[in-house]
């Protein structure tokens, strides 16, 4: 039964939704499908419309145009309390005048769940988030991380159609954030509830999601798996928003089905994989002015006296920062600043020293200017 | 006596654990800057401390002392130290009924201003800051008009041949005019009108402090707006309700102008009776005893009321 559903169903469908606040268009024609059982992240800078999208699914906002479907049912004009969802908020939002038990009981009472069943469900929900034994505490008596665990249990105990998470980790410190992130991922896979997670933190999005939706300016830029989002971004925005990047300018000198040759503005050239063209039509022609992007950790660095195959270029070290697990090395490549991230270290690397840097043609992304 | 009446409710409000937010915030600030501001702070407080001591604490103690002095007549010189003033009060049904009327009218005033004020406070809390400002201005506007003027305004509406009775009579709803003025109803109307702003602002303050995402959490869990209100918003606004009620109650208990003008001799509330004793009958010591009975009643009722809430199942809200 479950398997059949998995194969065909979209739990959420958003069709051409437009939302305006006054004269500002916050969502400008959004189309989105959330597959059954997946964890989908809405990622983007503040003001990109990710929270608005979540609020449309939750029912706190109504679309000006377009439709929202949950499990095949058009819910565009249905209020949140009739949608049967679970939601976790940034500010925990536990009812301060109720014990943990009463908080979890709130949704069950409204669903008129029988008493014995209720106790079993509350027990197992608290067990799931490792909060057993704290039923009679008040939210005030819990730490931030504990409160968010209870909030997750409260959202799950009603066995909702969807689980919505609105930046649930942003109020926690770094260590707790990581711990709870792992926990959420485990829980989601264990229960299999379709989950929509809103965040502005790219690391969170990449590590948690089955698919990531990158949004910008009220539009969806790309919907892909985390690895595709990181390694093969479709737009310049996605490349720049996720991770760090180095940028070069150049002109296309030749193309074939496999490779594109680019002459950089300083005279030297490089190849780029034909698959790595970003932008709307994902093609380019000879003579096009282009920008090349490469991530700092995709650049190799070697001492300058070692001969290397492939495209290697001379550069001068301008800055070295030790980050514990890796080194962040700034170099000047023909006068241009370039950042390199490498786990290796060579004692000869010092500020002012010359090194060779190189890259793989498959790691460079290209976009037409 | 005027000063006693005035300070009576202030003392009560100072001593009662009102809005906890307002009390703890200054504490935090002083803890942070304790070392730097501690001594100058005391010096800055000195003038007001001296003022309160000289013009409030000392007179209050003197009135307390007077209330234990008994004389047969205002001019008699055979003053004795005794409980006789208090015994006189508690053995005379006129004074006891005066206390009862005072409590009753004050409780009704609290009830009326709570029922009228809560929806206004809720509207304010749901409005944008700009609209909120306009509403606050409208609420505070009547405070700019003298209470005496406002009471005479009510005369025009409430007199047997006033606007309300004329309209009701012309609509055929009543045969003979309702006794709205010089009755308990008149005093309740006047006091509710005067103290409504305090109730509204106290409740609105506590509504502002409720995290708006709590209502969302309640809605997403399946609660209709009405259910959310009774399960979440109302209990969480209890601190505001309690402080509003305490404020309005203690002000009503010690009100003089409105009971005197709107109730007259028909509604002998304690402050009016005490004033009469002191000013017209020159029974200073008995008047002093009356004001201390009033003060004690107010303080006991307020304390029982607030402690009751702090020990109730809603105690968590008051922390």
DSSP states along A194-214 = -EEEEES-HHHHHHH-SEEEE
Residue B309's closest CA among B107, B17, B13? Answer: B17
The CATH number given to whatever domain includes residue A35 is 3.40.50.300
**Bridge partners of A328?**
A321, A341
* pLDDT over threshold 70, residue A293: yes
For A132, list phi and psi in degrees, rounded to 5.
Answer: -60, 145
Minimal C-alpha gap between B219 and chain A (Å)? 5
CB within 8 Å of chain B, chain A residues 68-97: 79-87, 89-91, 93-97
Q: Residue B71's pLDDT is what?
A: 83
DSSP code at position A26: E
CB contact under 8 A, A111 and B222: yes
The CATH number given to whatever domain includes residue A256 is 2.40.50.140
Residues A231 and A262 in one domain: no
Residue A183's closest CA among A204, A200, A166? Answer: A204
Q: Residue B23's pLDDT is what?
A: 38
Name every chain B residue with its beta carbon within 8 A of the beta carbon of A106.
218, 221, 223, 231
* pLDDT over threshold 70, residue A355: yes
Residue of A58, A93, A161 to mutate, interface with B, max B Cβ within 10 Å: A93
Q: Residue A308's pLDDT is what?
A: 60
Report the chain A residue with the minimal C-alpha distance to residue B314. Answer: A97
* pLDDT over threshold 60, residue B16: no
Residue A212's closest CA among A252, A243, A176, A178? Answer: A243
CB A313 within 8 A of CB A301: no
Per CATH, the number for B2-318 is 1.10.3720.10
Minimal C-alpha gap between B241 and chain A (Å)? 15
Name every chain B residue with its beta carbon within 8 A of the beta carbon of A96.
236, 316-317
Sign of CA dihedral A200, A204, A206, A212: negative
A53 HSE (CA, 13 A, CB side): 37
Q: Does any CB of chain B come closer than 8 Å to the CB of residue A161?
A: no
For B82, list phi and psi in degrees, rounded to 5.
Answer: -160, 175
Residues A6 and A82 in one domain: yes
- ipTM given for this complex: 0.85
Nearest CB among B213, B219, B314 relative to A91 is that of B213
* pLDDT over threshold 80, residue B199: yes
**Bridge partners of A69?**
A13, A74
Report the chain A residue with the minimal C-alpha distance to residue B312. Answer: A97
CB B72 within 8 A of CB B78: yes
Name every chain B residue with its beta carbon within 8 A of the beta carbon of A95.
214, 217-218, 231-232
Domain count, chain A: 2
Q: Residue A9's pLDDT is what?
A: 77
pLDDT tens digit sequence for B298-316: 999 999 999 999 988 888 8
Name every chain A residue with its beta carbon within 8 A of the beta carbon of B225.
81
Q: Which domain holds residue A345?
A: 246-368
Residue where one domain finishes, among candidates A238, A254, A274: A238
Sign of CA dihedral A302, A307, A309, A310: positive
* pLDDT over threshold 70, residue B249: yes
Residue where one domain finishes, among candidates A218, A238, A258: A238
d(CA A140, CA A85): 25
d(CA A367, CA A293): 8
Q: Residue A310's pLDDT is what?
A: 61
pLDDT tens digit sequence for A247-275: 888 999 988 888 888 988 777 788 888 88
CA angle B306, B206, B231 (to 5 degrees): 85
CB contact under 8 A, A138 and B227: no
Q: Residue B126's pLDDT is what?
A: 92
d(CA A276, CA B131): 54
Residue where one domain finishes, among candidates A238, A262, A278: A238
For B296, list phi and psi in degrees, rounded to 5.
Answer: -65, -45
Q: Residue A336's pLDDT is what?
A: 84
| Helix (H) or strand (E) run with residue B300 in it | helix B284-311
Q: Over the range B135-170, which residues count as b (16 or more CB within 10 Å of their CB) and which as e?
A: beeebeeeeeeebeebbeebeeebbeebebbeeebe
Q: Average of pLDDT values for A347-353?
A: 86
| Helix (H) or strand (E) run with residue B34 in it | helix B34-52
pLDDT tier for residue A140 given thresholds of 50, 70 and 90: very high
Computed over every residue of chain A, the mean pLDDT equals: 90
Nearest CB among B211, B217, B316 relative to A87 is that of B217
Nearest CB among B224, B225, B232 relative to A95 is that of B232
Residues A231 and A109 in one domain: yes
* pLDDT over threshold 50, residue B15: no
CB A353 within 8 A of CB A316: yes
Please give the residue that has the higher pLDDT: either A341 or A345: A341
Residue A130's closest CA among A158, A100, A164, A102? Answer: A100
A279 HSE (CA, 13 A, CB side): 15
Q: How far out from the chain centre does Cα A296 lie?
A: 19
The model's pTM: 0.82
Considering A302-306, A364-368, B216-220, the range whose residues carry the highest mean pLDDT is B216-220
d(CA B37, CA A361): 66
Residues A90 and A173 in one domain: yes
Q: How many CB atoms lie within 10 A of CB B112?
A: 19
Nearest CB among B213, B214, B219 relative to A81 is that of B219
d(CA A172, CA B212): 20
Candidate from A143-157, A199-213, A304-318 with smallest mean pLDDT: A304-318
Q: Does any CB of chain B come closer than 8 Å to the CB of residue A233?
A: no
pLDDT tens digit sequence for B157-194: 999 989 999 999 999 999 888 899 999 999 999 999 99
How would you classify the pairing of strands A65-70 and A24-35? unpaired
* pLDDT over threshold 60, residue B319: yes
Domain boundaries, chain B: 2-318
Q: Residue B13's pLDDT is what?
A: 39
């Amino acid at each position: 039964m479950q398997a059949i559903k998995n194969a065909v169903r979209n739990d959420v469908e958003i069709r051409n939704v437009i939302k305006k606040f006054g004269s500002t268009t916050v969502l400008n024609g959004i189309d989105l499908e959330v597959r059954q059982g997946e964890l989908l992240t809405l990622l983007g800078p503040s003001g990109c419309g990710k929270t608005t999208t979540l609020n449309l699914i939750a029912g706190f906002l109504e679309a000006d145009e377009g439709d929202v479907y949950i499990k095949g049912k058009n819910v565009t004009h249905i209020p949140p309390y009739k949608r049967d969802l679970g939601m976790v908020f940034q500010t925990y939002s536990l009812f301060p005048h109720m014990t943990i038990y009463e908080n979890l009981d709130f949704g069950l009472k409204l669903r008129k769940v029988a008493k014995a069943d209720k106790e079993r469900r509350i027990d197992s929900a608290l067990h799931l988030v490792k909060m057993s034994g704290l039923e009679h505490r008040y939210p005030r008596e819990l730490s931030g991380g504990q409160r968010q665990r209870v909030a997750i249990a409260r959202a799950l105990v009603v066995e909702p159609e969807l689980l919505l998470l609105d930046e649930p980790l942003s109020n926690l410190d770094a260590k707790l954030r990581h711990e709870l992130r792992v926990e959420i991922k485990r829980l989601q896979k264990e229960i299999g509830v379709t989950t929509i997670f809103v965040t502005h933190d790219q690391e969170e999005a990449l590590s948690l999601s089955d698919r990531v939706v990158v949004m910008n300016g009220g539009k969806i830029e790309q919907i892909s798996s985390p690895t595709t989002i990181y390694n093969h971004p479709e737009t310049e925005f996605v490349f720049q928003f996720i991770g760090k990047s180095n940028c070069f300018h150049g002109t296309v000198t030749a193309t074939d089905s496999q490779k594109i040759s680019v002459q950089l503005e300083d005279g030297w050239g490089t190849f780029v994989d034909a698959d790595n063209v970003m932008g709307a039509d994902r093609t380019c022609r000879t003579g096009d002015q282009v920008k090349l992007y490469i991530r700092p950790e995709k650049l190799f660095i070697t001492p300058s006296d070692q001969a290397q195959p492939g495209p290697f270029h001379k550069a001068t070290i301008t800055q070295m920062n030790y980050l514990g697990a890796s080194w962040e090395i700034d170099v000047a490549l023909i006068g241009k600043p370039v950042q390199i991230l490498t786990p290796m270290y060579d004692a000869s690397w010092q500020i002012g020293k010359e090194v060779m840097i190189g890259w793989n043609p498959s790691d460079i992304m290209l976009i037409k200017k | 006596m005027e000063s006693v009446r005035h300070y009576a409710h202030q003392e009560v409000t100072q001593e009662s654990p009102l809005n906890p937010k307002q009390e703890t915030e200054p504490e935090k600030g002083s803890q942070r800057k304790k070392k730097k501001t501690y001594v100058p702070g005391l010096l800055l407080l000195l003038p007001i401390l001296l003022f309160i001591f000289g013009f409030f604490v000392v007179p209050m103690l003197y009135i307390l002392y007077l209330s234990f002095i008994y004389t047969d007549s205002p001019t008699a010189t055979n003053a004795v130290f005794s409980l006789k003033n208090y015994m006189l009060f508690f053995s005379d049904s006129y004074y006891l009924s005066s206390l009862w009327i005072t409590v009753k009218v004050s409780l009704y005033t609290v009830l009326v201003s709570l029922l009228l004020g809560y929806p206004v406070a809720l509207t304010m809390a749901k409005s944008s800051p700009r609209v909120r400002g306009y509403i606050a201005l409208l609420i505070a506007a009547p405070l700019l008009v003298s209470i005496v003027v406002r009471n005479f305004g009510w005369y025009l509406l409430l007199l047997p041949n006033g606007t309300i009775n004329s309209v009701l009579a012309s609509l055929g709803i009543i045969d003979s005019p309702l006794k709205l003025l010089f009755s308990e109803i008149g005093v309740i109307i006047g006091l509710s009108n005067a103290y409504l702003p305090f109730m509204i602002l106290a409740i609105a303050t506590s509504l502002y402090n409720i995290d708006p995402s709590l209502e969302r959490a309640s809605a997403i869990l399946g609660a209709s707006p009405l259910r959310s209100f009774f399960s979440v918003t109302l209990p969480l606004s209890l601190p505001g309700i309690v402080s509003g009620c305490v404020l309005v109650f203690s002000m009503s208990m010690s009100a003089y102008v409105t009971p005197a003008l709107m109730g007259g001799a028909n509604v002998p509330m304690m402050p009016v009776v005490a004033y009469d004793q002191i000013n017209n009958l020159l029974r200073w010591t008995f008047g002093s005893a009356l004001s201390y009975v009033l003060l004690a009643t107010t303080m006991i009722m307020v304390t029982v009321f607030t402690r009751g809430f702090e020990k109730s199942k809603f105690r968590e809200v008051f922390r």
